[in-house]
Chains A and B, each alone.
Chain A
Amino acid sequence: MPNATKVLVVDDSPAIVDSIEMMLDFEGFEIEKFYKGSDMLKTLTPDSKPNVILMDMWLSGEDGRDICREIKADENLKDIPVLIMSASRGLEQSALDAGADAFIAKPFDLGDMVDRLKTYAK
């Protein structure tokens, strides 16, 4: 599928990453997975941009909001939609304040997630 939507999934929990990978694969997305935000950042260039970044907030020593801020501060990258996930619903506003395009509360509904990704990937 050459035109498949490319999603970068960032979460420090392999179980989450694996399940999301499986789910998105099933839905026909192209996935690249990362356990650290900084690793993901390194791969971002103006020439190779994903359609959406789906990133957890707490990343074992890294804060997804900081990573998001870096992306949004970069003129070349800021148009990439960043969706921040967290099990702490109260952090929604802080995620949006960090420039995230949307906040997704864990655990999430599969259908909703796919709809969101499709919306932002356009």
Chain B
Amino acid sequence: MKSFLEQNVSPESLITLFSQAPVAMCLLIGDDLIIQNANPQILELWGRDSSVVGKPLFEALPEIKSQGFVEIFENVYYKGEVFKGNKLSIFLEKFGTLEEHFFDFIYSPVYSVDKKIIGVSVVATEVTDQVMSERKLKESEYRFEDLIKNSDYSTAIYRSEELYIELANDLMLKTWGKNSSVIGKKLEDALPELEGQPFIGILKDIFKTGKTYTATEDKVDLVVDGILQTYYFNFSYKPLKNSEGEVYAIHNMAVNVTDLVKAKKEIQQREEKFRDLADSMPQFVWTCNHKGKLTYMNDSWYRYTGFDREEDPSEGVRRVIHPEVYEKVLVVWEESLRTGNPFEMEYQFSDPKNPAVYRWFLGRAVPTFDGDGNIKQWIGTFTDIDDFKQLQTQKDNFLGIASHELKTPLTSLKIYTQFIEKNLIRQSDLKNANVARKMDDQIDLLTKLIGDLLDVTKIQNGKIQLNESEFDFDQLAEEIVAEQQMTARQRIILHHTQVGKIFADRHRISQVMSNLISNAIKYSPDADEVIVSTHLAGDNVKFCVKDFGIGIPKDKQSKIFEQYYRVSSQKEHTISGLGLGLYISSEIIKRAGGRIFVSSNEEKGSDFCFEIPKSKNVQQNA
């Protein structure tokens, strides 16, 4: 070959070949590596012009001197070793900036005719673009893998129709209850429990259809910790396609929503439980929002009314409620909505089977509050109290009749007793006349008790009526004090302020005065006196009774005007009474447009007062 070149090819032709070759080439001659025969390609590659020809290499490209090339060239030049660089990184100063370039190149020794090394030949190809794109690909692969590994979602890649698990992040492995040993296995082998579940089939179908599959709150049974357990997932199977559009893998992303689904189911079950509870109640149970819009009525309501469940329940209520009270009920209900105070009212609903008939119901509602104290909703009931009402009416009628009937024999008994008393006085048998007098007092006491029972009945029926007329308040107070003094051991002191005439029910007011004084006497067994006082207080008259008895504990003071309530004390059983007096008194005073109140200290005594308007006009304006 050499002999052929030597003999037949002119050096000029070799130089032409050299300069026109599509690869970058040059000869570096001598131990200074003087640049000779650098072809345009290598000059471009270096980013230099032809002025570098004739200069030593490290003078022309000083930046490469520190990049290990001194040693490489020495090896080639002095030892004759060929050096092949593959995708080697070199920093070259091109256009004033140092840039990284990649080259494939060969450095070979150049021999003289007498076989001595006289230089180094350089053949190089720039592969920067290739390296860069490879690097980018690698980076994107790393990034993708990284993305999958660090994903907040359980992620896996299944390759080919055989569904080999190519990648599964820790979350997915945890979800499956497996470790990294499943990677590389077929999905059906890694998770044999999937047999009989639809997922393998769905995945294999995607290789044919190329369509993404998504599912929400889907049930999956997986063996985790050795136990087959049910989980719920939101997941997607997304096909990964090659440049030909063929599916080569499936990207699976899943979110374990088991807790959410279970919580939802639990809420649903709980709601069903309470709904069942509400539906099984004989009462009508309902809820409404804070604005009063009905949001639920139980089955009993629909069974009773026969109304359509699609209809606005408020409209249904409006239709069954007695038309005469509807507006009144609305006023009370709206007041409750405004204030948040519990609602309670009795009214009549028409019987849907017989609309002319009305039945009594008790409507109640209480608000429930959120964490900020705002009304969340109202829970209400309508309870059929018609039978109860009828029984109550029967009871009230009975009590009315009974007390009336009891008074009849009492009337004649009283006459006979008084007759005997008069007769005995006429016969000057004063001792026995006094016995008859005491009998008569006891008849009065019995009459009063019967009267109290009758009054309670009347109050409950709303039938207590006041027969108002003008009378002298001071005179009445004196009379009652005198009357009570007759049977009292304590001295009753009357502190008088001239009040004058008032307009009220004389009998009922006297009843209240008697009650307050007799209570004061009864509850101060060890005291010597009871103080009664009358005052004018603006347009009102005030009547007070102060005792020095057992008193009333603070927490009981608001209860003493309730029906049947009796102040408890160690001696309670020794103090007689039905517990009706103050209840009746307070109802009378309320009816008269006044108020009754007490201030009391335990063991020191009580001060009971009532205030009523002096005249009717004032009462009406008040």
Contact A87 B412 (CB under 8 A): no
Contact A107 B410 (CB under 8 A): yes
Contact B467 A87 (CB under 8 A): no
**A residues 11-29 with Cβ under 8 Å of B?**
13, 15-16, 18-20, 22-23, 26
Chain B contacts to A: CB under 8 angstroms: 400, 403-404, 407-416, 418-419, 422-423, 443, 447, 451, 454, 458, 463-465, 467, 507
Given A15-B408, A16-B408, A26-B422, do A89 and B414 touch, yes or no (CB 8 Å)? no
Given A19-B416, A110-B418, do A90 and B407 touch, yes or no (CB 8 Å)? no
Determine the distance from Cα of A15 to Cα of B405 in the docked complex, in whole angstroms.
12
Chain A contacts to B: CB under 8 angstroms: 13, 15-16, 18-20, 22-23, 26, 58, 87-90, 92-93, 106-111
Determine the distance from Cα of A16 to Cα of B414 in the docked complex, in whole angstroms.
10
Given A23-B419, A26-B419, A89-B451, do A13 and B467 touch, yes or no (CB 8 Å)? no
Determine the distance from Cα of A18 to Cα of B416 in the docked complex, in whole angstroms.
10
* Closest chain A CB from B47 CB (angstroms): 124
Contact A13 B418 (CB under 8 A): no
Given A89-B507, A90-B465, do A13 and B408 touch, yes or no (CB 8 Å)? yes
Contact A90 B411 (CB under 8 A): no
Out of A13, A16, A90, name the residue touching B463 (CB < 8 Å): A90
Residues from chain A with a CB closer than 8 A to the CB of B410 are 106-107
Contact B467 A23 (CB under 8 A): no
Contact A87 B408 (CB under 8 A): yes
Residues from chain A with a CB closer than 8 A to the CB of B414 are 107-110
Out of A16, A88, A92, A111, name the residue touching B412 (CB < 8 Å): A16
Taking A26-B422, A110-B414 as known contacts, 14 extra A-B pairs with beta carbons closer than 8 A to each other, sorted by chain A number, are A13-B412, A16-B408, A16-B411, A19-B411, A19-B416, A20-B415, A22-B415, A87-B404, A87-B407, A90-B465, A106-B411, A107-B410, A108-B411, A110-B415
* Closest chain A CB from B505 CB (angstroms): 10
Contact A106 B419 (CB under 8 A): no
* Closest chain A CB from B549 CB (angstroms): 30
Out of A88, A92, A110, A111, name the residue touching B467 (CB < 8 Å): A92
Given A16-B408, A87-B407, A110-B422, do A93 and B467 touch, yes or no (CB 8 Å)? yes
Contact B418 A87 (CB under 8 A): no
Contact A106 B465 (CB under 8 A): no
Given A90-B458, A90-B465, do A107 and B419 touch, yes or no (CB 8 Å)? no
Given A15-B412, A89-B507, A90-B463, do A110 and B407 touch, yes or no (CB 8 Å)? no
Residues from chain B with a CB closer than 8 A to the CB of A58 are 404
Determine the distance from Cα of A89 to Cα of B458 in the docked complex, in whole angstroms.
11
Interface of A, helix, strand, loop or mixed by DSSP: helix
Determine the distance from Cα of A107 to Cα of B418 in the docked complex, in whole angstroms.
12
Determine the distance from Cα of A110 to Cα of B465 in the docked complex, in whole angstroms.
27
Contact B411 A22 (CB under 8 A): no
Contact B463 A19 (CB under 8 A): no
* Closest chain B CB from A24 CB (angstroms): 10
Residues from chain A with a CB closer than 8 A to the CB of B411 are 16, 19, 87, 106-108
Name 18 interchain pairs, CB-CB below 8 A, sorted by A: A13-B408, A16-B408, A16-B411, A19-B412, A22-B415, A58-B404, A87-B403, A87-B407, A88-B400, A89-B507, A90-B465, A107-B413, A107-B414, A107-B447, A110-B418, A110-B419, A110-B422, A111-B418
Q: Which residue of B lies closest to A25 (CB)?
A: B419
Q: Which residue of A lies closest to B447 (CB)?
A: A107
* Closest chain B CB from A23 CB (angstroms): 5
* Closest chain A CB from B483 CB (angstroms): 12
Q: Which residue of B lies closest to A22 (CB)?
A: B419
* Closest chain A CB from B73 CB (angstroms): 134
Determine the distance from Cα of A89 to Cα of B465 in the docked complex, in whole angstroms.
10
Residues from chain B with a CB closer than 8 A to the CB of A13 are 408, 412
Determine the distance from Cα of A62 to Cα of B465 in the docked complex, in whole angstroms.
24
The 3 closest A-B pairs by CB, nearest first: A87-B407, A110-B418, A19-B412
Q: Which residue of A lies closest to B403 (CB)?
A: A87
Residues from chain A with a CB closer than 8 A to the CB of B407 are 87, 106-107
Contact A19 B422 (CB under 8 A): no
Residues from chain A with a CB closer than 8 A to the CB of B454 are 88
Contact A19 B408 (CB under 8 A): no
* Closest chain B CB from A84 CB (angstroms): 14
Q: Which residue of B lies closest to A92 (CB)?
A: B467
Residues from chain B with a CB closer than 8 A to the CB of A22 are 415-416, 419
Out of B416, B443, B464, name the residue touching A90 (CB < 8 Å): B464
Determine the distance from Cα of A69 to Cα of B147 in the docked complex, in whole angstroms.
106
Determine the distance from Cα of A107 to Cα of B404 in the docked complex, in whole angstroms.
10
Determine the distance from Cα of A99 to Cα of B418 in the docked complex, in whole angstroms.
30
Given A15-B409, A90-B458, do A23 and B415 touch, yes or no (CB 8 Å)? yes
Given A18-B412, A26-B419, do A88 and B464 touch, yes or no (CB 8 Å)? no
* Closest chain A CB from B419 CB (angstroms): 5
* Closest chain A CB from B460 CB (angstroms): 14
